[in-house]
Chain A
Amino acid sequence: MIGESIRQAVELLLTDGEVWSIILRSLQVSGLAVLFGCLLGIPLGVLVGIHRFRARGAVVAVINTGMALPPVVVGLFIFMLLSRSGPFGSLHLLYTKQAMVAAQLVLALPLILGITVSGIGAIPREVLDQARSLGASRWQTAMAALGEARPMLIVAVIAGFGRIIAEVGAVMIVGGNFHGDTQVMTTAIMEEVRKGNFSLALALGVILLTIAFSANGVMARLEQRAMAS
């Protein structure tokens, strides 16, 4: 059955242009969400990771809880914000790719943030103290910490991307699975399951896994390079 699905997956990729546009849309939405997640999560994570402050334990607990946010709940929350009857209804963002990016950003951010914090936290204190004693400014200390934790940052990106490229609950609710507009790989799979086209759904799943595998391959190369330097 798996063999048949792999064959069907290859056939889809060769013959079905629609599948390619769905793949590209998935990469676009999840890629943007991870990008914004890094822009927000890494600086914040460095801040929380370097500093020792009183509420730190609570902040870390909140971040770690955020990693367990159910996608459906996040989707519903964004939906209610963007709904016609919601506070941001006038923006007409519901059922757009922007809304999907926003929902996935909320899902990816705690992971990126949390892994960055623990990556920075794992740097031996002496290394940062030494940097400070050598006269490094706050900014320089933060940059030194970033450099030390580089392999972990790549793990953060891989984990964040892995979580959202595979989630269906949030993008189904805020994207609506509009064909040719907001349909992504996971919502397409869900739809085929509902229709009873199990082998087609599995073939799409094979394609999704291949994408995740390739993305991880690229990131692993980067990680090795980061470790080596």
Chain B
Amino acid sequence: MERVRTGRSGNVSLAGLLVLLSLLLAACGGGTETAGVEVSDLIVASTTSTQDSGLFDELLPAFEAANPGYRVKVNAVGTGEALKLGEKCDVDVVLVHAPDSEKKFVADGFGSERREVMYNDFVLVGPVEDPAGVAGGADAVAAFTRIAADQAPFVTRGDDSGTHKAELKLWKKAGLESPAGDWYRNVGQGMGATLTIANETGGYVLADRGTWLSMKENLPGLMIMVEGDAALFNQYGVIPVSPAKCPEANSEGAVAFMEWLVSDEGQELIAGYGVDRYGQALFVPNAAG
């Protein structure tokens, strides 16, 4: 600091700064009331694939309209992180897609109950040059076996996400306990980033259909290799965190969110999402009653 400002101009800028700070603070303030209804925050931990597909932009306004007492905030992370946030009581409800981990989450007492909401499917995507020659097949495991045998480049999310876990199951069925080698590239990133890397490097990748459809315009080097196999099924579940473990959690809101997702209104919205934009629905609702 060469000179110390004194006098009026200093006071004016100080006052300006104070005004700016108070505006910023006011902008951050919570606890709003709308039309006399007490509004509480409801924090949902979900997956990047759900967020990136745009489904939440469709569902959340409808949920908030039906339940004006809640304002939903979505924390889009990997399934692993979402469940961890639930364990630590940092979120009120989780909506993820890794049934085995979800059941364990409930069995361990972190979640109160688990309801199935919808499914979408995975697609095996690969470079248009298709070095392993797997395009057009209907058997995902056969394609995986072929890719491993040819050591064709494969990009894995490697991030403990639901998609990563599904991929590992497919490798297991193809006879590889844990694939390794130069051809198997572990990038530890989200679906969008992993697809971008596969597009740039000419690799195969397992992707959820929603993210693939919403991004494929930007991925000219990639195309679908295998789809429609039952082994590519991707079930989503919703779990409110256990009020016993997390007394501070917004349990009422969490249960309301779950009930709304499996209600006729929620299920119909899910069934219609994406039809106008992609010509097909991204998710198939399958809540059991």
Contact = CB atoms under 8 A, between A and B. Distances in A.
A194 B83 contact: no
A191 B189 contact: yes
A126 B118 CA distance: 76
B221 interface: yes
Contacts of A177: 187-189
A179 B158 contact: yes
A195 B197 contact: no
Main secondary structure of the interface of A (DSSP, over half): loop
B197 A95 contact: yes
A204 B29 CA distance: 34
Interface string A107-125: 0000000000000001000
A94 interface: yes
Interface string A77-105: 00000011100000000110000000000
A187 B200 CA distance: 19
B188 A183 contact: yes
A196 B200 contact: no
A43 interface: no
A194 B47 CA distance: 10
A194 B190 contact: yes
A198 B185 contact: no
Contact of B84 (A83, A190, A198): A198
A176 B80 contact: no
A196 B187 contact: no
Interface string B78-122: 101111110010000000000000000000000000000000000
A20 interface: no
Given A176-B187, A177-B189, A84 B200 contact: yes
Contact of B83 (A94, A122, A196): A196
- Central interface residue in A85, A95, A194, by most chain B CB within 10 Å: A194
A183 B159 CA distance: 14
A81 B158 CA distance: 27
B81 A193 contact: yes
Given A83-B200, A84-B200, A194 B78 contact: yes
A179 B186 contact: yes
Contacts of B43: none
Interface string B248-274: 000000000000000000000000000
A172 interface: yes
A84 B189 CA distance: 20
Interface string B171-189: 0000000000000011111
A196 B85 contact: yes
A213 interface: no
Contacts of A179: 158, 185-188
Nearest to B85: A196
Interface residues of A, number: 23
Interface string B188-223: 111001000101110000000000000000001100
B160 interface: yes
A115 to B, nearest CB: 14
Contact of B159 (A85, A94, A195): A195
B185 A194 contact: no
A196 B81 contact: yes
B84 A178 contact: no
B221 A84 contact: yes
Contacts of A85: 220
A195 B158 CA distance: 9
A178 B158 CA distance: 10
A194 B78 CA distance: 6
Nearest to A193: B81
B42 interface: no
A170 B81 CA distance: 22
B273 to A, nearest CB: 25
A183 to B, nearest CB: 7
Nearest to A83: B200
Contact of B80 (A83, A172, A195): A195
A194 B81 contact: yes
A95 B78 CA distance: 23
A41 to B, nearest CB: 22
B159 A194 contact: yes
Interface in A167-221: 172-173, 176-179, 183, 187-188, 190-191, 193-198
- Central interface residue in B2, B160, B188, by most chain A CB within 10 Å: B188
7 contacts: A95-B197, A178-B186, A178-B187, A179-B158, A191-B159, A194-B160, A194-B189
